[in-house]
Amino acid sequence: MNDNNKSELILNIDKLHTNDLGVERIKRNLCLDVDDVIRWCKEKIKESDSSIIRKGKNWYVGTADCKITVNAHSYTIFTAHKLKK
């Protein structure tokens, strides 16, 4: 994990957003039943054991149970997937 990437994303965490299609895609992919998907993603990203890697234009956030993909320029969360056990 590169701490610079993690701190850069954490410092800009309030900029995270998505659109209606993104909300539905994330809920479907992760089988979430929450009202605030953005808040849920922010909490996952801020977990102490999350790993954040920047590759090109995206950040890939790995947690214990999912992977969240965030555009590094617009801070748009555009997808998330469960990790296979």
Q: Does residue 2 surpass a pLDDT of 60?
A: no
pLDDT digits (tens, 9 = 90+) for 9-60: 999 999 999 999 999 999 999 999 999 999 999 999 999 999 999 999 999 9
- What is the structure's pLDDT at 7? 77
CATH classification number, 3-82, choose in 1.10.3470, 2.40.160, 3.30.70, 3.30.2310: 3.30.2310
Specify the higher pLDDT residue, 10 or 1.
10
pLDDT digits (tens, 9 = 90+) for 13-22: 999 999 999 9
Specify the higher pLDDT residue, 21 or 4.
21
Q: What is the DSSP string of 7-50?
A: HHHHHTGGG-B--HHHHHHHHHHHT---S-HHHHHHHHHHSTT-
